[in-house]
Every structure is written in C-alpha cells, then in structure tokens.
Structure 1
Amino acid sequence: MVTAAGMRGARGALDCDVLVIGGGIVGLSTAYAITRAAPGTRVTVLEKEPGPARHQTGRNSGVIHSGIYYRPGSLKARYAVKGAAEMVKFCAEYDIAHAVTGKLIVATDRAELPRLHALVQRGRENGIPVRELGPAQIAELEPEVRGLAAIHVGTTGVCDFTAVAQQLAEASGAEIRYGAEVTAIDRRADLGVAVRTADGAVVRGRVLVNCAGLHCDEVARLTGDDPGMRIIPFRGEYYELARPELVQGLVYPVPDPAFPFLGVHLTRGIDGGVHIGPNAVPALAREGYDWGTVRPRELGATLSWPGSWRIARRHWRYGAGELRRSVSKSAFTTAVRRLLPAVTEDDLVPAPSGVRAQAVLRDGALVDDFLIREGVRAVHVLNAPSPAATASLPVGREVARRALAALARG
C-alpha cells in the first residue's frame, strides 16, 4: 500500500509547475492553453492509455456542434458557439481533415413541431444562423429523408478529433507521459502535489488539473476533495450504414428536452462513412463499451449512488426504449426509419461504441452544463458534456486560467 509519507519521502525537485491528469481533448487543450498564456510554464500530462484520445474524444461521432441546443448564456452555449469557429480555424491551420457541412434537424411528428420552432428561437438567441425548411426543401438536401418540417444549421461540421488531440499534444510543448495510470495523490506534500502512477513512479507538481473524464470524480476524491457528484457511465451504441449514399450530410431528430441525449441521428463523417446512433444505455463499467464488459467495483459504485436510482425512477420509460433498441436490431431499425424510411436491418453494420461520462448529483439531477470546481492547488473538470470536443479550445483556456491563478497563489 502506498502511504502519503512514502510519497513525501520520494520527493525531490518538482517535475513541473502544472500536472494535468487525462490525455483527452480537454486535458490536452488545457496544456496547450497554459503554455500559450504563460510561456515557460512546465506542464506534464499523465495519460493511462498508450496514446491520446482513447475514450470519449476518440469514440464520438466527430461532429463540430453549433450550440443550437443549449440554453442562452450557459457555458455550453457560449463555449460551443465560440469553440466551433475556433475548431474550424485550428483544423485549417494544422491541415486536419474537417468540413463545415451544416445539418438538418427534422420533425417527423406534429407533436415535435413546437420544439422545433423553439430551437429556431434558441439558435437565434445564441447567434447561430438557422433556416426553416418544408418537406420539399428537406428532399432537396436529403432525398431519402422524410419529415414534416426541418431547420438547417449552417455552422455545424465534422472533423477528426483524435487528430486534433494529437496536434494539441505536439503543439503544447508539454511533457506527455502515456501508460501513466494514477493510483495515489498526496496533496500534503510540502511544495505541491505528488502523484504516484501504477508503475511506481512519482511525479511532482505545484498545481494539479483533473481532466480524467470517466474517472474525474475518483481522481477528485484521491486529492481529498469531495466532488459532490458521481460519474454514471452511459454507453452510446452506433451502427455504420452499409449504403452511405442514402445520407448526404448530418440529419438529427428533434431532441427530447427532458433527457440529455440528442437521439439517434445520421452522421456522414470526415471519412465519407455514415454512422447512425447513438442509442444510449447504462454501461456496466466506466469503459464498458459492450454488455460483456462488467467491472463489479465500478458497477457497485453506480448502484450505491442515490442519484442513480432517482434517474431510473424519473426516466424509466425513456430508458426502456433505449434498452429495447440495444437488444433488438429490428427496434433500432424502426427508430431510424422515422428519419430514413429506405433503411433496412441489413443496411446497419455494428460499429464501435462510446461511453459518456455523465455527472449525476445525489438527488438524481443530471448535470447539464460544464462543471469545474477548485480545491487547494487543484482544478477539477467534473462534467464535460457534449459539446466538449467542439468547445475544447475555450474550455481549455478557462481551466488554464484557473490553474495559472492557483499557481500564482502558491
């Protein structure tokens, strides 16, 4: 067992000024922002995987979100609108594959029309160009898609977020240590924070930044801070379309505002393939990318959190539909046909899944916005929801600002 005293005994000179845990796009954006804002600041990033962006960053649909869904004035709305423009510029500067394609949000039922019209207003409040379309105009853009009405959002795009993360790592000038899983943290050390990794190494810094994504609440507790929430993992299940010619661009349903997922949508990626999903179901492990991956300790932590049961009671009807589509390809196909009538079961080829790190409060409330909290010599990113990849550059600057302020306080 590693003790705090043992870690203090291993101390020598500090290895860095800021120690970032997590090599996803938010952690790497933070490292990039720190070295841009304060040249000469020594930054070390610890990532447990053998390379960057192996989880949420590299397992999403690759969409540069416009910000149309988010409450005006929220961090998500501000960061997404600004981040989308910055992400396109970053990709262009570093020759990373990307395209500004626009997207359709399509109402297929009359009951969805008021929500669609509300999105038009929300988009305009957020400064996003929105165009309203009727059935004939939908068919001009997407001949195989059917709907009563739609809106076209011109600033949505797609890119390769894994390549973005790799470029951020390179351009930051930070020391990136891969295969460095954090097992213990000692914040009582005399000069800052000491972190022990699974291979027995000790890394010392003045300030710690927690961008651990699916494990951020656990890392916060290792520092001695109470995060006040628990990460509940939701798996997003995808299919790839065997006939990609059926879809020209990006097509989304009108989302249900009662649940923090956008519904099954159609996404033509930067590689030309079309992904369909995600179907959202509870994961049985924090990195539970299929039903066969079960980690009893992590599952026990989910089940013991009071908020988990309150979510289940509140959203059981919605969740039952998601579970049904998870176990029944026929049910999933039926859901897709609401937007794309020509699709058949044979058109859907299983594709890799992702897992979303959803922060849940004790009372069962799903944390909807970015959640960043500070402790002594520590900054914790405790909820980085979609559109975190899109918004990673402005989010990274905000986390960097807080880390540098903590550094200045000593």
Structure 2
Amino acid sequence: MTRTGRRRVVSGFDCDVLVIGGGIVGLSTARALTRSAPGTRVVVLEKEAALARHQTGRNSGVIHSGIYYRPGSLKARYAVEGAAEMVKFCAEHGLPHQVTGKLIVATRRDELPRLHALVQRGRENGIPVRELGPAQISEYEPEVRGLAAIQVGTTGVCDYGAVAEQLAVQAGAAGAEVRCGEEVVVVDRRPWGVAVRTASGTVLRARALVNCAGLQCDRVARLTGDDPEMRIVPFRGEYYELTDPSLIRGLVYPVPDPAFPFLGVHLTRGIDGGVHVGPNAVPALAREGYDWGVVRPAELAATLSWPGSWRIARRHWRYGAGELRRSLSKEAFAQEVRRLVPAVTEDALRRTDAGVRAQAVLRDGTLVDDFLIRETRQVVHVLNAPSPAATASLPIGREVARRVRAML
C-alpha cells in the first residue's frame, strides 16, 4: 500500500525529511511537519505492507488521562494534552471513540496508600478525580468489588489504527509521501544530509531523518552510527476477552505497582462493545513475537546479551514469575481478574490478539519510564514511546517536528 502526495526533487535531495516508521508517532510527526512548515517535503518509510501493524494497532485502544505519570514529565504533559486532542481529533473526523471514564480499584489494604497517592498525582496533573467507597463502586460497576476506588472522568477509548490512517491521509494531502513495504537497511550520514537504502534497493537522500521505528528504534539508531545507550527489550502483553461483556460497563483497573511501567491486568470495554482483559507482561522471544511460537534467535541473543536484561531479571524475578504463570495458566489469569470482578471464571475468558511493548532498558537495568527523544547531527531519535504514546501522539509529533525543523 502506498499513498502519494506531491513530490519534488530539489538540489539533489529527494525530500527534506525522512521519517522511519509508519506507526501513529511517525505519522503524527509527518503531519506536524507539513502543517507547521508548508512546503517541507516529507517521506515516511514503513517496513510492513500496511500502516500501524505493531504497537499502534495492537493495544486496548485506551485514551489515557495521564493520572499515572510523574508531574512535569513528558508522559504527564503530553498524555493530559493529548487525551483532549485525541477526543477532538476523533470527533472532527468521524472516527469511533467514547469518553467513558474509568475506575482504579484497591482490593487490598496495602494498596490504599498508593491509591491515595494517585489521587494527589491526578490533581497535580490537572485531572478531575473522584474518590469512591465500596457502595459507590457498585453503582458504577455492579460486578466490581473493592475497598476503595477513584473515578477518572477523562479516560476514553478509540481505534488507534483508524487514527493512524487519518493522520496518513492528512499528511498526504499536505504533500507528504507514505511508502509501505520499505524497510531501511542502510543509513549513510554525510555533511550534506542523510541517505538511506531500503531492502528493495530504493535510495533516498534527505536533509534530516526522524527515527520513529518503535520496536526497531534502537537498531535504526545504530544504523545511523549513534549509540542510543539503551536497548529495546520487548514485553508481550497477552489479552483475553470476556465471553459475557455485560459484566463490565466501562474501564476497570487495579492499583498499579509503582516499580513497573505496566498497569496490571485490567478490563476495557472497547468501541466495538467487547471487553478486553489484560495484559500481563512477559518477555517476548522476538521483537515482534506475538506468541511463544515466534522465536528469532538473533533478536533473542541481542536481548540476552544486553546487561540491562539480566539486571531486570535478577531484580524483579518474583514479579516476572507471576506474569509467566499467568501466561501459561488461564486459571491463574482468571484468578488475577477475580480480584476485581469475582464473577469472572476461566470459562468466561476467550484468548484474543496479543501486543508487544517496545520498552527501553538502560545498561544498569533501569526501565525507562518517560518518553525518550534524543537529537544528534541531522537525526531525531524517538527511543522510548510505549503506552501512552498513542494517546500523546499529536503533541509528541509536534515536539519531534519542532526539533527536526531546527536542523533544516
């Protein structure tokens, strides 16, 4: 699939900016570039045969409020800003979406201090939060049980694949070109700019390059000659869906563990009316390893050779063991769900598509918590943009566009 806008060749360059990656962040960047600097010639290269095949198209579709993220962080700023923009974008372009609100529920006493901390964090981030007791929880969600909860009104759901398609249409209408089936295999940086060669043999020359390659972003960074000082360690998130979606009215989350960037097994009523349950988080055996049968030895070896991977394993093996157990045992997964919704049995769950989170990990084993955007000569790298990057994609795109415009 290829979308073609206006294209000109000037002064030996095929375009002004090459964007690697046709997910929602890459497409938002292309749109922001063509809008903020009309006449900027942008080409987006996507290795798959269609757009949004990975993180953008394999998630629960939640428009995150920004309540979880450290005040002042890029995640907090861009999620709060991006959530409102995403709802407006979907409404303007007739894309399916709903602002449902969500409950974050404490089911154990040791979770209550963390729940109260989330209330404070939400208020610091400017997010409306309402505290609920057990009876009020039942008013919102009759099948949910908990000691206390908070209700976050700005959370919603949408179809991020449809959003990505619309971003591509708008970028194309403004003159950008989106090429699918073009995997970048060589990057050559010169004093005058950047040249890339794709697996098909296509060579393109540009003044600047943007790396929005998601699961492959560290590999692309190394192709440019830059050391990203991190590696993508892929974590597979496995989902089920409820066979009886009437059990849940909206979105129900547990209180997250602050040591991890994952939000725990939660229940999400999507725009199609079905209820997704999950995800857990287990190491994937390939960058795009959506089940245990997908193993790419070279990619697995690269993950295992990164010192940060072993440090994560040593530090968090108990947590990882629990996630692995829930991956291998449907009943163990159901037990976790029953903490929130006691009526959910093993038979009430049906397995559905998994996703893979592109998690940046530092050499010392630190899981990078915030969005990570770095600039080097002629290149902007987006090196950590997992959830809530889809929610925040419009402001992220503007920020990346701002940085790359300064290079032109």
CA distance in 1 between counterparts of 2:110 and 2:60 reads: 27
**Residue 109 of structure 1 pairs with residue 108 of structure 2:** yes
Task: For residue 50 of structure 1, report the CA deviation from its aligned partner.
Answer: 1.1
- The alignment partner of 2:332 has SS state of helix
The C-alpha deviation readout for 1:375-399, integer Å capped at 9, x for no partner, is 1100000001211000000000000
Contact 1:368 1:385 in 2 (8 A): no
> Which amino acid in structure 1 is aligned with residue 226 of structure 2?
D
Q: CA deviation at 1:259?
A: 1.2
Would you say the 8 A contact 2:70–2:76 is kept in 1? yes
The alignment partner of 1:53 has SS state of coil
User: Take 2:270 and 2:204, find their aligned partners in 1: how far apart are those partners?
Assistant: 39
Aligned partner of 1:376 in structure 2 is 377
Q: TM-score, normalised by structure 2?
A: 0.96
| Shift in Å, 1:12 | 8.6
Alignment of 1:36-75 (within 5 A): 36-75=35-74
Q: Distance in 1 between matches of 2:289 and 2:295?
A: 7
Residue identity in the other structure for 2:135:
A
* Superimposed CA distance per residue, residues 94-147 of structure 1 (whole angstroms, 9 cap, x where no aligned partner): 110001000000000111000000000000000000000011111011000110
Shift of 1:192: 1.4
Report the alpha carbon displacement of residue 172 of structure 1 after superposing the two structures with TM.
Answer: 1.0
Q: Which amino acid aligns with 1:276?
A: V
- Give the match for residue 89 of structure 2: 90
Code of the aligned partner of 1:175:
E
8 Å CA contact retained: 2:55, 2:386 = no
Secondary structure of the 1:187 match is strand
CA contact (8 A) 1:135 1:148 kept: yes
CA distance in 1, matches of 2:351, 2:338: 17
Residue 302 (structure 1) aligned with residue 296 (structure 2):
no
CA distance in 2, matches of 1:293, 1:115: 37
CA deviations on 1:79-105 (whole Å, 9 max, x unpaired) are 000000000010011110001000000
Q: Is the 8 A contact 1:144 1:247 kept in 2?
A: yes
Structure 2 residue 223 is matched with structure 1 residue 193: no
Contact 2:20 2:45 in 1 (8 A): yes
The answer to whether the 8 Å contact 2:239/2:280 transfers is: yes
Counting only pairs closer than 5 Å after superposition, residues 249-328 of structure 1 correspond to structure 2 as 249-328=250-329
Q: Does 1:394 align with 2:400?
A: no
Q: Within 5 Å, which residues of 2 pair with 1:137-176?
A: 137-173=136-172, 174-176=176-178
Q: Give the count of matched residue pairs.
A: 396
One-letter identity of the residue aligned with 2:21:
G
Whole-angstrom CA distance in 2 between matches of 1:54 and 1:144: 34
Q: 8 Å contact 2:66–2:80 — kept in the other structure?
A: yes
- The equivalent of 1:21 in structure 2 is 20
Residues 127-142 of structure 1 correspond to what in structure 2 (within 5 A)? 127-142=126-141
Conserved? CA contact 2:184–2:198, under 8 Å: yes
Unaligned 5+ runs, structure 2: 1-9
User: What is the CA–CA distance in structure 2 between the aligned matches of 1:75 and 1:337, rounded to whole Å?
Assistant: 34
Give the alignment's TM-score, normalised by structure 1.
0.96
Runs of 4+ aligned residues of structure 1 deviating over 4 Å after TM superposition are none
Cα-to-partner distance string for 1:140-166 (whole Å, 9 max, x where unaligned)? 110001101100000000001000000
Deviation at 1:309, TM superposition (A): 0.3
Distance in 2 between residues matched to 1:154 and 1:236, nearest whole Å: 25
Counterpart residue number, 2:7: none
Q: How does 1:200-215 map to 2 (within 5 A)?
A: 200-215=201-216
For 1:12 and 1:328, locate their aligned partners in 2 and report how far apart those are by CA, in whole Å. 60
Amino acid at match of 1:192: G
Corresponding residue for residue 3 of structure 2? none
Q: Give the Cα–Cα distance (whole angstroms) in 1 for the partners of residues 162 and 180 of structure 2.
A: 17
How big is the alpha-carbon RMSD for the aligned residues of Structure 1 and Structure 2? 1.0
Q: 1:178 aligns with which of 180, 188, 198?
A: 180
**Deviation at 1:204?**
1.4
- Aligned amino acid, residue 154 of structure 2: T
For residues 312-341 of structure 1, what are the alpha-carbon distances to aligned partners after superposition, in whole Å with 9 as ceiling and x for unaligned? 011101000000000000100000000010
Q: Is the 8 A contact 1:369 1:385 kept in 2?
A: no
Q: Percent identity of the aligned residues? A: 81
Contact 2:69 2:76 in 1 (8 A): yes
Task: Give SS of 2:241's match.
Answer: strand
Which whole-Å CA distance do the structure 2 matches of 1:125 and 1:141 have between them? Answer: 25
Cα displacement string for residues 225-264 of structure 1 (whole angstroms, at most 9, x for unaligned residues): 1100000000000001100000000000000001110000
Distance 2:70 2:156 in 1: 20
Tell me if structure 1 keeps the 8 A contact 2:19–2:42.
yes
In structure 2, distance between residues paired with 1:166 and 1:403: 23
| Counterpart amino acid of residue 390 in structure 2 | A
Q: How far apart, CA to CA, are the structure 2 residues paired with 1:241 and 1:54?
A: 24
AA at the equivalent of 1:21: I
- Secondary structure of 2:26's counterpart equals helix
Q: Which residue of 2 aligns with 1:366?
A: 367
Contact 1:103 / 1:153 at 8 angstroms: preserved in 2?
yes
For 2:4, the equivalent position in structure 1 comes to: none
User: What's the CA shift string for 1:202-237, capped at 9, x where partnerless?
Assistant: 111110000000000000000001100000000000
Aligned equivalents of 1:215, 1:77: Cα separation in 2: 25
Query: Structure 2 CA distance, aligned partners of 1:401 and 1:180?
Result: 25
TM-superposed CA distance for 1:354, in Å, is 0.2
Separation (CA, whole Å) in 2 of partners of 1:346 and 1:14: 59
